[in-house]
Structure 1
Amino acid sequence: MILFPAIDLKDGQCVRLVKGEMASATVFNEDPAAQARAFEAAGFEWLHVVDLNGAFEGRSVNADAVERILATVSFPIQLGGGIRDMAGIEAWLSKGVNRVILGTVAVRDPELVHAACRAFPGRIVVGIDAKGGKVAVEGWAETSKLDVIDLARRFEDAGVAAIVHTDIDRDGILSGLNIEATLALARAVSIPVIASGGLASLDDIRRLLEPDAAILEGAISGRALYDGRLDPAEALALIAEAAAC
């Protein structure tokens, strides 16, 4: 089980939102590269980065911050937010991003996801953001009529490396992961699934380490790491102990 620390970028800073509302942003670090370095030093194996401005505007906005992160750390990075064409995908992968996350474009242009998977095997992730079980797009500003599992099944044979499943209603409020919905998605497709939205404490880590959750690739943690509710050393030690059993 991989625990992905999250860096959400707004106006060049590390922030956390509440339920995806940009007006709710709390700044936790003005230096994203320093935050990434701290996560790497803590022992995390991956980093999850989202360009929030980009997700709303449909283009990469915080490129400078992302490039500083890439220049600062050596552990693998997955990046999402505003990447909506092949040129953007190729550009970020060539700059050192290990996996690109496609969200809105997975709904608007699913063939692009298929083409990207063919061009870059193992490096394309689909981000599915859920609000009441339906897929949200455009930086969570719009909710479609498309069911989460129906969307995921469109990419069953595409070669997608993983699906990031975010429960928007839980994101940033530390209420615990929506493990039931995430596991239902993971059981419905063969693509590895990453849980996101609401991870609050070691209890969530323990739940992710239970046998039925072994089908998940991992989970993303944001606010709980920033405000100290989740201690990195304790969380990573728990995961390592479970892996050794």
Structure 2
Amino acid sequence: MILYPAIDLKDGQAVRLLRGEMDKATVFNDDPAAQARAFVQAGCEWLHLVDLNGAFAGEPVNAAAVESILAAIDIPAQLGGGIRDMATIETWLDKGLARVILGTVAVENPDLVRQAARAFPGRVAVGIDARDGRVATRGWAEETDVDATDLARSFEDAGVAAIIYTDINRDGAMAGPNVEATAALARAVSIPVIASGGVSRLADLIALRDTGVIAGAISGRALYDGAIDLREALAALRA
């Protein structure tokens, strides 16, 4: 199982939100590129980036910060937030991102997801963010009646590289991930599923790994707070 350290970007800084609320942001580093380098030096294989302002604006906002990160690292990175048209997808992939994450458009314009996945094999992921099993969009600000599992299944034949499943109620709360719901989603589809939200200790990562069906896990606050030692976690997951 791959561990993806998260760098969430708000106003050019690396932050973490509590349950997706922009007014509950904690700044962890005002130099996102330096944070990225620190994660790479600890041995991570991937980075997970989120343009939080972009998720609300519907277009890239923290582009300068993302580009500084890409210039500072030599490992693949994936980015979500504000990517809602083919031109933006192409621009980001051309700038060196390994993978873009499409969230809101997966609900509002699923044909774009399919088109992008065909055009860029292995480089398009779907972000499914849910509260109580129902998908939320536009920076988690808008609730829908769309069932998370139904949405995931709708992309089975699209060729997407992964599904990033976030339990919003767990995100940033340090209360542990929703292992059961994430594993159930992973069993419902053949697409690799990456868990996000609530990973707060090494035992959480082990629990996700031991389901045998979850391909990756994203952690942010626990790494910044020191609740998880990144080197130790990477070694444990490789063992």
| TM-score (normalizing by structure 2) | 0.99
CA RMSD of the aligned region, Å?
0.6
* 1:141-191 deviations in Å (ceiling 9; x for gaps): 011000001111110000000000000000001100101000110111110
The residue matched to 2:83 in structure 1 has which SS? coil
Q: Match for residue 230 of structure 2? A: 232
Look up the match of 2:55: 55
User: Which 5+ residue runs of structure 2 have no aligned equivalent?
Assistant: none
- Alignment of 1:217 onto 2:204: no
What amino acid maps onto 1:217 in structure 2?
A
In the aligned structure 2, how far is the partner of 1:133 from the partner of 1:37?
35
Identity of aligned residues (%): 68
| CA shift for structure 1 position 50 | 0.2
Shift of residue 209 of structure 1? Answer: 2.8
- 2:97 match: 97
Partner of 1:204: 204
Q: CA deviation at 1:214?
A: 1.9
SS at match of 1:74: coil
Shift of 1:208: 2.1
SS class of match (1:9): strand
Instruction: Look up the match of 2:9.
Output: 9
Q: CA separation in 1, counterparts of 2:187 and 2:97? A: 28
What SS does the aligned partner of 2:212 have? helix
Amino acid at match of 1:197: G
Matched residue, 1:135: 135
Alpha-carbon distance between aligned partners in 2 of 1:233 and 1:73, rounded to the nearest angstrom: 17
Where in structure 2 are the equivalents of 1:1-245 lying within 5 Å?
Answer: 1-210=1-210, 213-241=211-239
Offset of residue 72 of structure 1: 0.6
Q: Which residue type is aligned with residue 51 of structure 2?
A: D
SS at match of 1:216: coil
| TM-fit CA distance, 1:216 | 1.3
Q: Secondary structure at the match of 1:185?
A: helix
Amino acid corresponding to residue 159 of structure 2 in structure 1: G
Per-residue deviation at 1:215? 1.6
Q: CA deviation digits over 1:182-223, x for unaligned, max 9?
A: 01101111100000000000111221232xx22211100000
Q: CA shift at 1:132, angstroms? A: 1.1
Residue 2 of structure 1 and its aligned partner are, at CA, apart by 0.1
Q: Give the secondary-structure state (helix, strand or coil) at the position aligned to 2:23.
A: strand
| SS of alignment partner, residue 234 of structure 2 | helix
Cα separation, 1, equivalents of 2:2 and 2:176? 17
CA distance in 1, matches of 2:106, 2:209: 30
For 1:138 and 1:232, the matched residues in 2 are separated by 30
